[in-house]
Amino acid sequence: MINVLIVEDSPVVREFLIHIISSDPELHVIGTAHNGEEAVEAARFKKPDVITMDIHMPKMNGFDATRRIMETHPAPIIIVSGSSTFEEIATTFRAMEAGALAVVARPQGIGHPEYETTAKELIETVKLMSEVKVIRRWSKARTELTVPLVPKMEVMIPPTEIRVVAIGASTGGPMVLQTILSRLPKNFLAPVLVVQHMASGFIHGFAEWLGQTSQLPVHVAANGEYILPGHAYVAPDGFQMGVEMRGRIALSQDEPENGLRPSVSYLFRSVARVFGQNAVGVLLTGMGKDGAEELKLMRQKGAVTIAQDEESSVVHGMPGEAIKLDATTYVLSPDKISEALISLVNKK
């Protein structure tokens, strides 16, 4: 049985979420909270396996409540968002910075054509996040005092030109992608292609949120557009993303791979075929094995391949599978991945 704490200030929405979560025999609503202050106390005393969190609440909002919970009594937190515009959704991703693991849309009402699909998505996300072992986050002030100096990254500069960087991520990926992209210079000499597993409806807001801290323009990829150096392209909802020989985005509704569309495997295989040794592949935190075998394919084609290390991964499933397959040239933390990409692409 997975014990769930529901944090929501609207009585109507709160009862609606209780109804949905209680409909699954593996889930049990252990309690509710009407605002952020109550959420912090409930997390302390009820010790839930998962928390669903509203953002806009009185007394203490969802951002601050998430931060406090992750600093004191950490638990997997899922933001349940009722936001509709790209700008509002981009703001919702601030909760990732506070320690939330995932963002899902509030399910549609009973009787709506998408009710069953959206309710199932929430239930499946709760179950998946319950498997994640979260750790306590120290306050920012304390972190700044205790972070050790890290030695400079050394990478072998390949003799060939790197013409594209392909990155795949799942659970825990948004914050890692933000870290990596925010450290790349605006004169970065290759395009960056990104597949991030995410609930439907959030990709545009996600791209906008990434762009707020990145010197690289971040786009949701469009079919047929040319990929440009110093730009990042995020795969849209419901499409597989690949590349054509002429350096253009190729979107398709080919079958899901590893149950996913977009799939990291699809992107990596396409990049391996088109760019071969002129590419870098990066596999980040996430459940499952999407992209692991295809990262090895990229390495076999001569590409430089990187997996995120276990210490910095929320879930080491995808990068861990790649390491087991000997698919990686380097195993690095997010900040070191940024350093490596600058060295490999800009030859610095």
Q: Which of 9, 130, 197, 312 is catalytic?
A: 197
Note whether 265 and 293 are within 8 A (CB): yes
Q: Which phi and psi angles does 318 have, rounded to 5°?
A: -65, -55
Measured CA to CA, the distance from residue 328 to residue 304 in angstroms comes to 8
338 among known catalytic residues:
no
Pairing of strands 218-220, 240-243: unpaired
Residue 281 contacts residue 266 (beta carbons within 8 Å): no
3-state helix, strand, coil in the chain (%, to 5): 40, 20, 40
CB 170 within 8 A of CB 290: yes
Cis omega (within 30 of 0) for bond into 48 = no
C-alpha angle 129-16-99 in degrees, rounded to nearest 5: 30
The answer to whether 197 is a known catalytic residue is yes
223: CB partners within 8 A, 6+ apart: 239, 249, 250, 251
For the question of residue 290 being annotated catalytic, the response is yes
Q: Which one of 81, 170, 263, 338 is the catalytic residue?
A: 170
HSE (CB half, 13 Å, CA atoms) of 272? Answer: 22
Contact call for residues 333 and 339 (beta carbons, < 8 A): no
Point out the catalytic residue in the list 290, 309, 312, 338.
290
The two most distant CA atoms of the chain are separated, in Å, by 62
d(CA 29, CA 11): 15
28-63 burial code (b ≥16 CB/10 A, e <16): ebbbbbbbbbbbbebbeeeebbbbbbbbebeebbbb
Residues with catalytic roles:
170, 197, 290
